[in-house]
Amino acid sequence: MPMKRCVLQIRVTGRVQGVGFRAYVKARADEMGVFGWVRNLPDGSVLAVAVLSEERRSAWIEIVRRGPPGSKVSALDVRDLPSEEMPGWADLREFRIERDDV
């Protein structure tokens, strides 16, 4: 029986830009076999979208909440995305840092 997967969107606010937050999230995703992406947003927050097994959902949220040394997460907005809101999610095979103009 295949593992049930979910798509999570997490918006992270606090001191999360300029502290290695995206690299930290990518490294943890690579370790856990999580696919998706992370990017800085113009308002100073970070947005991460992850495809992962249901079993890893809670652990993933805690990893993002913890953040790297030097970060200070003040809030997480966690949302389960229906698959139709993220076309192609089932085809993701990596986790990447999306570059931005922030």
Which of 11, 15, 22, 57 is catalytic? The answer is 22
96 is catalytic: no
For the CA atoms of 98, 21, 45, 30, the dihedral, rounded to the nearest 10 degrees, stands at: 50
Selecting among 40, 66, 96, 99, the annotated active-site residue is 40
Residue 5 is among the residues annotated as catalytic for this protein: no
Alpha-carbon span 26 to 1, nearest angstrom: 28
Question: Is the CB of residue 96 less than 8 Å from the CB of residue 48?
Answer: no
Kindly list the catalytic residues: 22, 40
